[in-house]
Amino acid sequence: MADNQRPLSGKRIAVLATDGVEDIEYTSSRNAVEQAGAEVHLISLHPGEIQAMNHDINPANRYPVDRQVEQADPADYDGLILPGGTVNPDRLRMNETAMAFVRAFFQQAKPVAAICHGPWSLVETGMVNGRTVTSYPSLRTDIRNAGGNWVDQQVQVDNGLVTSRRPDDLPAFCVKLVEEFAEGRRTGRMATA
């Protein structure tokens, strides 16, 4: 593949996920950035492997963890992906180190992509305040209560933050996250909390 078809060559992307991650949201977003040339690391709460799920209830594949969140430095990465599944982001948002990891990407003005229930991490860290985002519809009230503007769209981009609603939105989500990760850091983009 030509270099212009690999816009993420030389970039390193973190995927923050744990047990309960929706399999297709993890694999599709990871594959998109890898095919665009990025090196990808699965960051999680524990070493070993994580158990992915299909539709929150059916066990899917297991994936090897590259680094525990306590050992991962956001400065080593050019972008962050937050896949969903209901259980995965619920577990992540209860972990202060994981939420500090997410917050650091905003503080460093780096692109972030979250799909389905993944925006729960954005709510927990205060990073939706003043932003327009989409998510799985059940997060609408959480996002609004956190100061965000929730919209019902296939994909929403707000100054380097890419969000989508559900697995059906993955094609559009993956295109936009590659574009935003290729663009890189934002000038003037500040953390909102």
Asked if the structure places residue 191 within a domain, the reply is: no
Alpha carbon distances (Å) from 155 to 10, 40, 59, 107: 26, 22, 27, 23
Res 155: pLDDT = 98
pLDDT digits (tens, 9 = 90+) for 55-107: 999 999 999 999 999 999 999 999 999 999 999 999 999 999 999 999 999 99
CB 52 within 8 A of CB 63: yes
Asked if the structure places residue 193 within a domain, the reply is: no
Task: Tokens for 100, please give them.
Answer: 């500090």
Of all residues in the chain, the percent with pLDDT exceeding 90 is 92
Alpha-carbon distance 187 to 159, whole Å? 10
Total structural domains within the chain: 1
Q: Which domain holds residue 92?
A: 15-183
**pTM of the complete model:** 0.95
Of 46, 55, 117, 174, the active-site residue reads 117
Residue 165 banded pLDDT, cuts 50, 70, 90: very high
Asked if the structure places residue 135 within a domain, the reply is: yes
Res 1: pLDDT = 44
- 117 catalytic? Reply is yes
Res 128: pLDDT = 96
Asked if the structure places residue 100 within a domain, the reply is: yes
Of 41, 55, 116, 174, the active-site residue reads 116
* 51 φ, ψ (degrees, to nearest 5): -100, 115
Alpha-carbon distance 40 to 44, whole Å? 13
Asked if the structure places residue 115 within a domain, the reply is: yes
Asked if the structure places residue 1 within a domain, the reply is: no
pLDDT digits (tens, 9 = 90+) for 95-149: 999 999 999 999 999 999 999 999 999 999 999 999 999 999 999 999 999 999 9
Asked if the structure places residue 166 within a domain, the reply is: yes
CATH number at residue 143: 3.40.50.880
Task: Tokens for 158, please give them.
Answer: 């707000």
DSSP 150-179: E---SEEEETTEEEESSGGGHHHHHHHHHH
Residue 191 banded pLDDT, cuts 50, 70, 90: low
Burial of residue 96, with CB atoms counted within 10 A of its CB: 0-12 exposed, 13-18 middle, 19 or more buried: exposed
Asked if the structure places residue 24 within a domain, the reply is: yes
- 116 catalytic? Reply is yes
Report the chain's mean pLDDT, rounded to a whole number. Answer: 95
Task: Tokens for 179, please give them.
Answer: 């574009």
